[in-house]
Amino acid sequence: MSSGEVPSTNSSAGGGADSGLARAGPPGSAAGRSLPLLLFCCLILALCGFASAAEGTYAPLWDVGANGAISSVAISQDGTAVVAGAGSTVYLLDQKGDVLWKTTVGSRVNGVGISPEGSHIGVAADKLYLFDKDGNLLWTEKTTFVYLSVSLSSKAAYVATGCDNGAVYIFDRNKKTLWDYDMGTDSYSIAISENGRVIAVGCDDQGVYYLNSRQGESWSYGTGKCVKGIALTPDGRFVAAGSLDRCVYLSTGEGEHLWKYPTGDAIISTALTNEAREVFAASGRSVLVLDRSGAEIQKIALKGRAESIAATPDGSFLVIGGGDGDRSIHLFTRDAALLSSGSQEVPVNETEPVESPTGNVTSLPVPTTDNASAVAEVTPLPPDEEVSIASQMLGWLENIFSLLFKPQEDFLA
């Protein structure tokens, strides 16, 4: 890999992953005798985790139908604003599921992002678009390449984006280019920390990259297949990656690989809560909710493929974008007070965008409607699939043996 303006500081993060297996030793060694005790202690902790997790499972708050498959979703840290892309349309919704505004861009929306406090919205498509919370277009950045992903730091001080020219760019809120880095491969997913200092990237070359916006690459590892899901905790201390190899990976910001979790389908989106207490993964027609140890605590089923997910740092809200067969924006919560009012389905009234006096494409606020002829198909969610204690235990024990996994040996960053 070659760098752009900033030199690469690539380092291996695989040493710590192998050392744990080496210390296990033969059955008669002290390390060998301590391993069963360690597993037993972890088992007790996991059982305690199962009990607490059962008290906070996610349930649907509302569903909003859209005019196509939901390619990308994002949510503000307090859960009051949800942004979604479907086809070439961008939606901003409030916590009640009302559409605050929507607009069309010049091509299919590949990625959306929202600043932590909800003040700015970024859109990756034929151009990079930056909107304010009221839907006013602040600027666009066009190149001869397509933007594939976008993520915003606090107040959009840093707007990180990946292009299909193999580069990652960082702009400020005034469109000034602050930094660019040549990844040498397409960046399908990107996440930036709240302070803008740390960036995680999932790439077409099967790699997960952890970048420092001031120094370049800190570490990377290979998964064996294209990485389409990347998530960071707001402080950048944990990274969740989802690969087409059908595994979810959790690592620390220091490059320590904690575990990988095998699933039945490719992982195309991930999300994290603070301290990685919950790890979310979109896999096929389901969204998996894992705890920090890698144990499955809930499985949410959709009628269509789960295309994109996002969660608030405190875990109060989870937003899911459904693909073909679903085509809905789903908001889930584990807040009992909100759930007591009951879930709802909210249709979307499609209207044509209007041109603002400045020539920027924006749209007027769109009220919801009960007119069935004007709405897209909304598929209700089936009840969440029950995950038995035995199934959770099996998955947890499986992760015990892949806890200290070895990154792909032949991966070259």
* 92-125 pLDDT tens trace: 999 999 999 999 999 999 999 999 999 999 999 9
Mean pLDDT over residues 370-387, rounded? 33
Q: Which residues are within 8 A (CB) of 56 and not within 5 positions of it... i.e. 6 or more apart?
A: 315, 334
Domain ranges of the chain: 51-400
Q: Are 173 and 120 in contact (CB under 8 A)?
A: yes
How does the average pLDDT of the chain come out, rounded? Answer: 79
Give the Cα separation of 68 and 322 in Å (integer): 9
One-letter amino acid for residue 237 of the chain: R
Give the Cα separation of 71 and 228 in Å (integer): 12
Give the Cα separation of 272 and 238 in Å (integer): 8
Class of residue 397 by CB neighbours under 10 A (exposed 0-12, middle 13-18, buried 19+) = middle
Nearest to 212 by CA among 9, 1, 15, 2: 9
**Is pLDDT at 4 greater than 60 in this prediction?**
no
Under the phi-then-psi rule, with left for phi > 0, alpha for psi from -120 to 50, and beta for the rest, what region is 162? beta
pTM (2 decimals)? Answer: 0.76
Q: What is the pLDDT of residue 338?
A: 87
Evaluate whether the domain defined by 51-400 bears CATH number 2.130.10.10: yes
* 319-349 pLDDT tens trace: 999 999 999 999 999 998 888 765 455 444 4
